[in-house]
Amino acid sequence: MMSWNWKVLKFPEKKSSHTGNIGWLERDDYAARVYVIFSSWNFMNTKSLEYIWDEKLPEDTIMTSPYLQNIRLIVVKSGKDNAEQWIFEERNIYDDYKKAFGKTPPRFVTAIALMTDADNTLSTAEASYKDLKVGYKK
């Protein structure tokens, strides 16, 4: 199990191009991300779950990263209604890994990472995180 609190203060600006479309890379900016990383001795076999808060994608959507096939994005929170408020999240990493990759996870989580980014949209984003807990039983 894993839990945390997060608060989004500013979402990245995902503007449409002159054709009205937003490219996949431009959409790969999220105000808040929590990574759970399962390292391997072979870097190419390292797998990651990436929990995201997006303003439009439906919750529980699972996607593959546009950068690496071994990263699965899981939309945990959607919308701006609760922006600027602390939101508690709790996830079953084991079950999420099975849903995302279709098999049981490796034995150990080797890293946790937090990320707020807006580099692909050339905009800004801001989020806060607190009370991260990993590895407890419910």
Q: Is residue 109 part of a domain?
A: yes
**What is the rounded CA–CA span in Å between residue 113 and residue 136?**
18
Given pLDDT bands bounded at 50, 70 and 90, which one contains residue 27? low
Q: Is residue 18 part of a domain?
A: no
Q: Is residue 77 part of a domain?
A: yes
**What is the rounded CA–CA span in Å between residue 33 and residue 115?**
5
> What is the domain range of residue 42?
2-13+23-131
**What is the rounded CA–CA span in Å between residue 11 and residue 109?**
28
Q: Is residue 93 part of a domain?
A: yes
Q: Is residue 71 part of a domain?
A: yes
According to DSSP, residue 58 is labeled P
Asked if 15 and 6 touch (Cβ cutoff 8 Å), the reply is: no
Q: Is residue 114 part of a domain?
A: yes
Domain count, the chain: 1
**What is the rounded CA–CA span in Å between residue 135 and residue 138?**
10
Per-residue confidence (pLDDT) for residue 63, from 0 to 100: 94
Q: How many CA atoms lie within 13 A of 138 on its CB side?
A: 9
Interval 42-88: pLDDT, tens: 888 899 999 999 988 899 999 999 888 999 999 999 999 998 999 99
Given pLDDT bands bounded at 50, 70 and 90, which one contains residue 5? very high
Asked if 117 and 12 touch (Cβ cutoff 8 Å), the reply is: yes
Q: Which of 38-47, 90-99, 119-128 bottoms out in mean pLDDT, i.e. has the lowest?
A: 119-128
Q: What is the mean pLDDT of residues 1-6?
A: 97
Per-residue confidence (pLDDT) for residue 21, from 0 to 100: 46
Q: Is residue 137 part of a domain?
A: no
Q: Is residue 7 part of a domain?
A: yes
Asked if 112 and 135 touch (Cβ cutoff 8 Å), the reply is: no
Q: What is the mean pLDDT of residues 10-30?
A: 62
pLDDT of residue 92 exceeding 90, the answer is: yes
